[in-house]
């Protein structure tokens, strides 16, 4: 059945490549591929697609996987096929015969058809799976909350084609597994159920310490046609829910690495630079006025500069408008501004209350040292204190620090005079890192603008 599906998918792809080329010809030349040269060119591209698409996983099962990622894989594979076709035409000294406008139409048209066909197919399959057809029965082997979490994810994704059939509690002494499906605690009963019900999948949602259980189950089903997948429980040693990555051809799980590093971060990088440049240009008259007022408020420089940690702990100098009188701090100690702090100038008090003193940090964003949205960086002296008191504190520096963040729009601004405040701030920062999307960044920016820059704790 799978071989037939693969054959039909290949026939579909070739058909979409020729149909896209024909439509492009009709648009560009008002006829459909009558020139033999163009027919040969399209045939070469179709042959390249049959050779290269399997290497990109285009014909693998995408059950339970992101359809957006599938569209990206198909797009990348198709662009590489077109690049190979152009290289072939160039090597045959026939590149001048190819209409660039026709080629652009063809690439866009066929690429759209290849992606649309797959999305429609998966939409139909999703409807079928929601109706109870084309399902893979899953038994989850695990213990505690991680096992329950996997079972909930299966229930929450009916269109994926997986259905939880049962669970096997590998460590009954550690507590029960609360779920709607039958739970086995005896190994033999679990094995007999998998074989009697012809279960398709066994998922091992176990901690790394359960190596003997993992080996036992894999050995038990080595002669059965059951897909066995390992979903390790690494919550005790990992702060981020990371997918398996390829490292020198070896699968690896990032336990302590930046969760925002792939191509998805490109919109964030572009937005940071464009937004920072627009803010600095748009507020330049205001910046000049503030600079003059700061200079007149008390002797000293216009800007306050301080070392902070950036991404991966790299130090940089953060810029702010100076809001305090110039004073000496005890080495190794930084005293946070408090309500009624006599060090704060009258101009500085207004700047801090309205957060206008933060505007120069857009220079840090433009330099690539900070982001518009991200965890707020703290003084190095505070880092030394809190890294041992607040779990996950230093993990905040796995991404670029920001001018505003999820913690700030949820009320955690200003002085952290109690350890509970810092714990709350770190918790929200880690939530942001675990659930980051470009849309979440835009939401935080919108909330920052909506709520305003002023805050009760800013003084």
Domain of 173, CATH number, reads 3.40.50.720
Last residue of a domain, one of 174, 202, 237: 237
pLDDT of residue 459: 45
Q: How far apart are the first and last CA of the chain?
A: 69
Q: Are residues 284 and 407 in the same domain?
A: yes
pLDDT of residue 331: 62
How many independent structural domains does the chain possess? Answer: 3
Q: Are residues 222 and 368 in the same domain?
A: no
pLDDT of residue 267: 85
pLDDT of residue 335: 63
Compute the C-alpha angle 200/204/207, nearest 5°. 175
Q: Are residues 277 and 340 in the same domain?
A: yes
Q: Are residues 190 and 89 in the same domain?
A: no
3-class DSSP state of 276: helix
Contact 140, 150 (CB under 8 A): yes
Q: Are residues 348 and 211 in the same domain?
A: no
The residue range of the domain holding 59 is: 2-130
β-pairing, 227-230 vs 244-247, is: unpaired
Contact 144, 172 (CB under 8 A): no
Tokens of 102: 């026709």
Phi and psi dihedrals of 324, rounded to 5? -120, 160
β-pairing, 315-321 vs 303-309, is: antiparallel
Last residue of a domain, one of 130, 151, 182: 130
144 inside domain? yes
pLDDT of residue 48: 87
Q: Are residues 122 and 180 in the same domain?
A: no
15 inside domain? yes
184 inside domain? yes
Residues 6 or more apart in contact with residue 284 via CB below 8 angstroms: none
pLDDT of residue 323: 86
Q: Are residues 109 and 178 in the same domain?
A: no
Placement of tokens 């964030």 in the chain: 268
Q: Are residues 115 and 158 in the same domain?
A: no
pLDDT of residue 236: 61
Tokens of 153: 């994810």
202 inside domain? yes
Which residues of the chain carry a pLDDT beneath 70? 1-4, 32-37, 61-66, 129-134, 159, 235-251, 253-264, 328-340, 414-417, 452-459
Last residue of a domain, one of 130, 163, 186: 130
Contact 326, 305 (CB under 8 A): no
Q: Are residues 274 and 233 in the same domain?
A: no
248 inside domain? no
Q: Are residues 102 and 233 in the same domain?
A: no
333 inside domain? yes
Q: Are residues 11 and 113 in the same domain?
A: yes
pLDDT of residue 289: 94
258 inside domain? no
Q: Are residues 7 and 55 in the same domain?
A: yes
What are the C-alpha distances in Å from 27 to residues 20, 85, 101, 104, 349?
11, 21, 10, 11, 65
Q: Report the C-alpha gap between 180 and 152 in whole angstroms.
A: 10
250 inside domain? no
To the nearest 5 percent, what fractions of the chain are helix, strand and coil?
A: 55, 15, 30
SS (H, E, C) 391-432: CCHHHHHHCCCEEECHHHHCCCCCCCCCHHHHHHHHHHHHHH
pLDDT of residue 370: 94
Q: Report the C-alpha gap between 372 and 457 in whole angstroms.
A: 21
Phi and psi dihedrals of 88, rounded to 5? -65, -45
Q: Report the C-alpha gap between 77 and 42 in whole angstroms.
A: 16
β-pairing, 250-253 vs 244-247, is: antiparallel
């Amino acid at each position: 059945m799978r071989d037939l599906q693969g054959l039909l998918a290949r026939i579909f792809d070739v058909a979409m490549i020729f149909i896209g080329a024909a439509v492009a010809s009709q648009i560009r030349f008002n006829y459909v591929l009558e020139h033999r040269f163009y027919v040969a060119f399209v045939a070469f591209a179709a042959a390249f697609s049959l050779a290269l698409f399997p290497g990109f996983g285009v014909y693998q099962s995408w059950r339970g996987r992101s359809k957006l990622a599938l569209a990206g894989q198909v797009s990348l594979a198709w662009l590489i096929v077109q690049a190979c076709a152009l290289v072939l035409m160039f090597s045959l000294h026939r590149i001048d015969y190819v209409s660039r406008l026709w080629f652009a139409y063809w690439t866009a048209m066929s690429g759209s058809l290849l992606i649309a066909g797959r999305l429609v197919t998966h939409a139909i399959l999703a409807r079928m799976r929601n109706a109870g057809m084309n399902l893979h029965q899953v038994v989850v082997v695990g213990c505690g909350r991680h096992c329950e979490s996997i079972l909930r994810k299966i229930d929450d994704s009916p269109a994926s084609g997986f259905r939880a059939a049962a669970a096997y509690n590998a460590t009954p002494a550690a507590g029960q597994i609360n779920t709607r499906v039958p739970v086995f605690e005896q190994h033999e009963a679990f094995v007999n159920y998998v074989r009697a019900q012809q279960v398709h999948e066994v998922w091992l949602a176990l901690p790394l310490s359960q190596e003997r259980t993992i080996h036992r189950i894999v050995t038990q089903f080595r002669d059965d046609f059951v897909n066995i997948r390992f979903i390790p429980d690494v919550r005790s040693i990992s702060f981020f829910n990371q997918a398996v990555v390829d490292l020198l051809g070896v699968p690896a799980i990032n336990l302590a690495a930046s969760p925002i590093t792939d191509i998805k971060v490109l919109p964030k990088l572009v937005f940071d630079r464009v937004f920072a440049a627009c803010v600095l240009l748009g507020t330049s008259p205001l910046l000049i006025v503030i600079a003059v007022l700061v200079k007149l408020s008390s002797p000293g420089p216009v800007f306050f500069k301080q070392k902070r940690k950036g991404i991966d702990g790299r130090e940089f100098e953060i810029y702010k408008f100076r809001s305090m009188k110039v004073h000496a701090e005890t080495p190794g100690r930084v005293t946070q501004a408090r309500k009624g702090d006599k060090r704060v100038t009258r101009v500085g008090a207004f700047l801090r209350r309205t957060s206008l003193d933060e505007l120069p940090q857009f220079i840090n964003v433009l330099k690539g040292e900070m982001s518009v949205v991200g965890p707020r960086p703290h003084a190095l002296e505070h880092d030394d204190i809190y890294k041992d008191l607040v779990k996950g504190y230093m993990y905040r520096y796995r991404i670029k620090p920001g001018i505003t963040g999820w913690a700030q729009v949820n009320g955690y601004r200003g002085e952290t005079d109690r350890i509970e405040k810092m714990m709350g701030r770190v918790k929200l920062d880690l939530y942001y890192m675990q659930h980051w999307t470009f849309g979440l960044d835009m939401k935080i920016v919108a909330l920052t603008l909506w709520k305003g820059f002023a805050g009760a704790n800013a003084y």
